Amino acid sequence: MQSIELRPPYLILIGDDDDPTYAKTGFGIVHWRRDSVAGQLRFDGCPLDLGVPDMTVAQAAAAGVRTLVIGVAPIGGVVPDAWWEVIVEAAAAGLDIACGLHLRLADVPEVRDAAARSGARLIDVRVPPAGIPVGTGRKRSGKRLLTVGTDCAVGKKYSALAIHKALEDAGRKATFRATGQTGIMLAGSGIPIDAVVADFVSGAAEMLSPDNDGDHWDVIEGQGSLFHPGYAAVSLGLLHGSQPDAIVVCHDATRSEIAGWPGYEPPSIPECSERNILLGKLTNPNIRCVGVCVNTSALDDQARSDYLSAIRHATGLPCLDPVIDGCDAIVGGLG
């Protein structure tokens, strides 16, 4: 498959960040892919701790680490010099460098030269692979589930990861398919679908979930929303190329406006489900909605229970908060 591929085990660079929200990629990798993580690299005095062994670049190289993952966003957006020193050291030691920042690693001469000498790969997870074809619409073997959203940032990535975990826990064959830079860092592979040229979005989604065993589920991270005035094109191309047999609608219980787009309301959950089914039928006539995932972190227990019950009643589907409840109820209903 043509996609970005990270080679484990990883050393995760945390540097000296002190705000956990800036290190969410690092924490996420440890949470979802603990087996891929050999250690963390922290500078003196760094208060954050991913709960994995501290390592220098030299220790990591000696221990067989293959990739330095930049697991943080620099506060203020500028990568500090101390980080560059470590990145160059790792590249010189032959470690691949995986980076989700907006810069391009190869644009930094010291990094580029060190990697060229050692043979290390520079992996910008925001840059799609080359040679993505136009979508064919050809039906592929295997099963696919796509998380879709009423808006951006409503838990589509988390829900897909949790559904994948529930499938694996149930002994089912499943693969998480990442479509955004954080998801790619967590999964170790994927395609940043929103960075693909528009003509090739559905083709990229087709490439991301190739033919598979009849009882295998690809669980595909959704992007944007069909109801988003800026990003609906990405969502539609991903829907068409993914050809999902099943969709799960993701929502944030407190979202009353498309975040950052004043005047635009998110759809109701049934409306979101119906619209995705209507448009998804183009490439998979058997598409159906199998559940609803809601971020209820802002609700108290009673409000949360009432909210989920009401949606369960309105849709007749499993409705849950994946962080609190897990996704067994959804996975149990899959064919």
What is the smallest separation between the CB atom of 225 and a copy of itself, expressed in angstroms? Answer: 10
DSSP string, 66-112: -EEEE-SPPTTSPPPHHHHHHHHHHHHTT-EEEE-SSS-GGGSHHHH
Stretch in the footprint of a copy of itself (CB under 8 A) among 27-35, 89-97, 213-221, 231-239:
231-239
- Is residue 136 a contact point for a copy of itself (CB under 8 A)? yes
Q: Which of residues 264-283 bind a copy of itself (CB under 8 A)?
A: 264, 279, 282-283
Give the HSE-up count for residue 175: Cα atoms under 13 Å, Cβ half-sphere. Answer: 19
Q: Give the closest residue to 151 by CA, choosing from 268, 239, 241, 242.
A: 268
227 secondary structure, DSSP code: T
x/- mask, a copy of itself, residues 155-194, rule CB under 8 A, reads: --------------------------------------xx
Nearer to a copy of itself, 168 or 274 (CB): 274
Q: Which of residues 298-327 bind a copy of itself (CB under 8 A)?
A: none
- Is residue 237 a contact point for a copy of itself (CB under 8 A)? yes
Q: Give the closest residue to 291 by CA, choosing from 80, 74, 146.
A: 146
Cα dihedral sign, 57-63-67-72: negative
x/- mask, a copy of itself, residues 189-228, rule CB under 8 A, reads: ----xxxxxxx-xxx----------------------xx-
C-alpha dist (Å) from residue 140 to 136, 208, 222, 280: 11, 12, 19, 15
Where on the chain is the footprint of a copy of itself (CB under 8 A)? 134-137, 193-199, 201-203, 226-227, 229-234, 236-237, 240, 261, 263-264, 279, 282-283
